[in-house]
């Protein structure tokens, strides 16, 4: 990695869109890949290296504020900056009528989908400075039948991201909200188990589209 190499932090990088974005960015960015699953991160690292890129693996839980503080302090001490942050970490609670939402699923949904973003934004913002970019990924399910826990907590994350985007419009960093095309991810399979996945957009194709507009 040279001094001029761009740096991209991807939270939720072990699979799905997060992993695809890491691979798409590998030719131009050093990837800081955050996820809980060490094995999946190591497999991602192999694919990044195969594309001529490099990565720093951070097997951490985004719901652990101390771990996220350590992560961001480590980025500051080693590189002093970030060029890009892509936040793909998500918890897909089982579909359920609102009056049957499990308390543990609700608590985990809040922690992963909403609180983690509220913790990370103040940690990451100084690393992005005025010129960096933060990207959040919308999946507008709020108010849909059986999506109570997921829809409500994802909407909370989006509301926070939109506020940050409005607040930094003139000063930076640039905050983007992207709504990806439907992809054959494990998350989507939990929501639509009988869906014809051949009609969905491959994660690699969607990641390439997103990277092209950043």
SS (H, E, C) 170-209: CCCCEEEEECCCCCCCHHHHHHCCCCCHHHCCCHHHHHHH
Please report, in angstroms and rounded to a whole number, the separation of the first and last CA atoms in the chain.
Answer: 21
Half-sphere exposure of 171 (CA within 13 A, CB side): 9
pLDDT in tens, 170-214: 999 999 999 999 999 999 999 999 899 999 999 999 999 999 998
Sort strands 29-35 and 6-11 into parallel, antiparallel or unpaired: parallel
Model-level pTM? 0.95
- Using the structure block, give the residue that is written with the tokens 């997921």: 150
Q: Is the pLDDT of residue 1 over 60?
A: no
Element (H, E) at 149: helix 148-167
Q: Which residue has the higher pLDDT, 3 or 202?
A: 202
| Span 98-108, average pLDDT | 97
Sign of CA dihedral 65, 71, 72, 77: positive
Domains (range + CATH), the chain: 6-207 (3.40.50.720)
Q: Percent of the chain scored above 90 by pLDDT? A: 96
**pLDDT at residue 2, rounded to an integer:** 58
Reply yes or no on whether the pLDDT at 61 is more than 70. yes
pLDDT at residue 113 above 80? yes
Among residues 162, 175, 179, 166, which one has the least CA distance to residue 133? 175
pLDDT at position 126: 98
Distance CA 161, CA 163 (A): 5
If DSSP codes are grouped into helix, strand and coil, which group holds residue 162?
Answer: helix
* Measured distance CA(154)–CA(143) in Å, rounded: 11
């Amino acid at each position: 990695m040279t001094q001029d190499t761009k740096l991209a932090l991807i939270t939720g990088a072990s699979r799905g869109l997060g992993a695809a974005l890491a691979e798409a960015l590998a030719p131009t960015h050093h990837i800081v890949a955050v996820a809980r699953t060490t094995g999946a991160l190591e497999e991602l690292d192999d694919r990044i290296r195969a594309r001529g890129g490099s990565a720093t693996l951070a097997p951490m839980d985004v719901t652990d504020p101390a771990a996220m503080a350590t992560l961001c302090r480590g980025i500051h001490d080693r590189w002093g900056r970030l060029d890009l942050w892509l936040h793909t970490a998500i918890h897909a609670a089982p579909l359920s009528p609102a009056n049957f939402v499990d308390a543990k699923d609700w608590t985990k949904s809040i922690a992963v989908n909403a609180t983690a973003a509220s913790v990370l934004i103040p940690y990451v913002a100084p690393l992005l400075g005025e010129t960096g970019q933060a990207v959040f990924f919308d999946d507008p399910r709020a108010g849909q039948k059986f999506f109570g826990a997921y829809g409500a907590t994802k909407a909370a994350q989006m509301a926070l991201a939109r506020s940050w985007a409005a607040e930094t419009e003139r000063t930076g960093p640039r905050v983007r909200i992207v709504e990806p095309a439907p992809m054959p991810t494990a998350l989507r399979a939990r929501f639509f188990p009988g869906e014809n996945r051949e009609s969905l957009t491959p994660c690699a194709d969607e990641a390439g589209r997103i990277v092209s507009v950043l």
